[in-house]
Structure 1
């Protein structure tokens, strides 16, 4: 019996979703991350990949391989591939030691705040009755947990934003947001890794590339990473773009 509550449900015939409650927080993410790490270190026959979200992780598998492997071990005991995978996951969950910490990378991301790079910085400041300098200070002083990558290739959903600078999405999304734009939406912050439509409030831009299509994995950031932002000037931004081939 697992030490904590979870729910395993099928997603079609080749994936299951493991959900750990409804609260988006560090403890929930820790369980997701530890299960992913365990499955990737000690996978089962037919395992393809794990895809994390805020409160659950989706595990993809090849049902034919799962069925054949189960049949090898228990010839007279027929169960569905979903049930076989569910049993494996429950066994893995019993092995999790949630009182232990897991290793996290810390990635520092430079940001040129305001101006043409952050056209919504003044709105975020007014909305929270702050100055733009106060918004920059609060945003760059925080530490943010990467809960998941999604929406666009390499786009990190970051938790840990101070409620002092939280702001609603734009009522009318922009049709095109430049790659590298740093935004705020509700209690989250994030970075647009590619040019895409979007409705987040833009407060700055980074010269770093977050989407690296020729590398494996193609995303600079991964679920479980910690992100720290630090402010840079427009001159430093331009210099980094020139030297590092950024945005």
Structure 2
């Protein structure tokens, strides 16, 4: 009997799935995940345990380095790691830790506006709403896993008669504290987020507290009970003691000399982003980071920053900013017709700007997201290891939110090499009595990630774990039909309109790990491609995954853009990733040479 199966989760992750007959428990999978973290495997970036699966996320750059040292290809190195992981996981006993002795009781107001789906759930279960509440609140549940959103507990122990289908299409916003049911599991939304579970009640208890040293109220193994209370009582959450973090990662008070930019108008959505927040996926914290990492890394290279330094990411309509001090900047990605004191600014090159200059971005005429890098980097304090804004979790950036009018944006110290170039450009600007000066050269395009307006994008896919469940008609629609980007797309995912794709096997999936690029097919058949801000776990079937090299192109798709798909193999995906990395390294070397000559 096959105890465990392994599926690619795109080109930078694997999903290990245990069969029901195997008897491996969620606690056993969590124990395996903990051991993998402690063992420090080369090329392993993060692990996400779930009910019957373990998602292993890869560090391709680390694996590429190991492959070069061993004289192997990247494909061979990844396959070697996959084989070693499979052997280690399939042969390992559960090693279930002792049951936790914590029992958390959550007060819940059931029904009404707090639980809009309660009556429909009760009707499907063939009972009254009162009986449904009694049955749901009479069980002591166990936290099987944390996922989907920061601190979201998947609770096992739901009575079989209370099981419910997911919504045909997820709600765009579910209020924090909502108690939901999906399949044979129940859970609590810790933050405002999209979601497809049936909502039966709400609690005011805070499951995710980013200001605390221990940010999560619940942990795997905890026992949880729900206590029904009147609606007015949940507005008075129980006081729970926690140790605050001594230095907040979301403070917006900075010294005057640190301030580089003042936000006059924030645009549609302007956030601070870096390379992402790693190591917290198992707790439901998204990695996030820049949607278009190629544009972010290019902009940082142009101003002499580390490639993962924090930048401003602007979506569709850019910000209006005032410089509080002289800055060396670079603008990459979408064309938002940037202007300095009313004069058009060039992109894809270093530009020196004088203090007091008014820097304005308009609507994107090409692409979707523009990136502004500043020499020294955007210097907000890191939160959970990253400066990236995660507005669902309230992490990073300034107060954990998108920039707003009146915000002051701090900038780090000017790197030495950047300082020399800035001095040369300042001297040239002084001679012209100008507010800015750019170099004569530009970086060009590392990848074709900003398509001309009105053109059709082609995204490359690798097959997903449920690929075979969609049949020939599903394959034909996905690979031959044209889809369009919907206006409801965001940093979590790109929603597509077009011919619905139907799954032949109508069986609910247990929640499992997902990754940026995962293409989910909900019950309505309309594809959703998960993006940089996606949740770590999900429950919809995965027909395919956009390859990593094409995620920057996905990030630049605008509402209404047409897109088609082409199926490729994993070796093609890894080769495309290597090509992008090689081009970025050549760019970085070229920029160092140019800036060394101060040209």
TM-score by length of 2: 0.34
SS of structure 2 residue aligned to 1:27: coil
- 1:216, 1:24 → 2: CA distance? 40
- 1:179, 1:205 → 2: CA distance? 8
Of 226, 231, 235 in structure 2, the residue corresponding to residue 229 of structure 1 is 226
- 1:173, 1:119 → 2: CA distance? 14
Q: Do structure 1's residue 102 and structure 2's residue 100 form an aligned pair?
A: no
Two-structure CA RMSD over aligned residues (Å): 3.6
In structure 2, the CA distance between the partners of 1:58 and 1:165, relative to structure 1 (3 Å rule), is closer
In structure 2, the CA distance between the partners of 1:219 and 1:128, relative to structure 1 (3 Å rule), is same
Higher helix share: 1
- 2:144–2:154 Cα contact (<8 Å) kept: yes
In structure 2, the CA distance between the partners of 1:8 and 1:210, relative to structure 1 (3 Å rule), is same
In structure 2, the CA distance between the partners of 1:187 and 1:16, relative to structure 1 (3 Å rule), is closer
Q: Do structure 1's residue 126 and structure 2's residue 96 form an aligned pair?
A: no
Of 14, 17, 21 in structure 1, the residue corresponding to residue 15 of structure 2 is 17
Match of residue 180 from structure 2: 183
Alignment: residue pair count: 238
Match of residue 198 from structure 2: 201
Matches within 5 A, 1:71-220: 75=70, 80-93=76-89, 96-98=92-94, 100-105=95-100, 106=102, 107-170=104-167, 174-214=171-211, 219-220=216-217
- 1:110–1:232 Cα contact (<8 Å) kept: yes
SS of structure 2 residue aligned to 1:203: strand
Aligned-pair distance for 1:49?
0.7
Residue-by-residue CA offset, 1:14-46 (whole Å, 9 max, x unaligned): 32222213x499734244222201102222133
In structure 2, the CA distance between the partners of 1:84 and 1:214, relative to structure 1 (3 Å rule), is farther
In structure 2, the CA distance between the partners of 1:94 and 1:58, relative to structure 1 (3 Å rule), is closer
SS of structure 2 residue aligned to 1:84: helix
Match of residue 418 from structure 2: none
SS of structure 2 residue aligned to 1:240: coil
- 2:80, 2:169 → 1: CA distance? 47
- 2:137–2:226 Cα contact (<8 Å) kept: yes
Structure 2 gaps, min length 5: 241-599
In structure 2, the CA distance between the partners of 1:6 and 1:31, relative to structure 1 (3 Å rule), is farther
- 1:33–1:224 Cα contact (<8 Å) kept: no
Of 29, 36, 41 in structure 2, the residue corresponding to residue 44 of structure 1 is 41
In structure 2, the CA distance between the partners of 1:162 and 1:69, relative to structure 1 (3 Å rule), is same
Structure 1 gaps, min length 5: none
SS of structure 2 residue aligned to 1:80: helix
- 1:183, 1:65 → 2: CA distance? 39
Q: Do structure 1's residue 27 and structure 2's residue 51 form an aligned pair?
A: no
SS of structure 1 residue aligned to 2:24: helix
- 1:147–1:158 Cα contact (<8 Å) kept: yes
- 2:66–2:77 Cα contact (<8 Å) kept: no
- 2:142, 2:16 → 1: CA distance? 20
- 2:85, 2:143 → 1: CA distance? 24
SS of structure 1 residue aligned to 2:234: helix
- 1:166, 1:16 → 2: CA distance? 29
- 2:204–2:236 Cα contact (<8 Å) kept: no
In structure 2, the CA distance between the partners of 1:200 and 1:238, relative to structure 1 (3 Å rule), is same
Aligned-pair distance for 1:189?
1.8
- 2:172, 2:86 → 1: CA distance? 44
In structure 2, the CA distance between the partners of 1:234 and 1:24, relative to structure 1 (3 Å rule), is farther
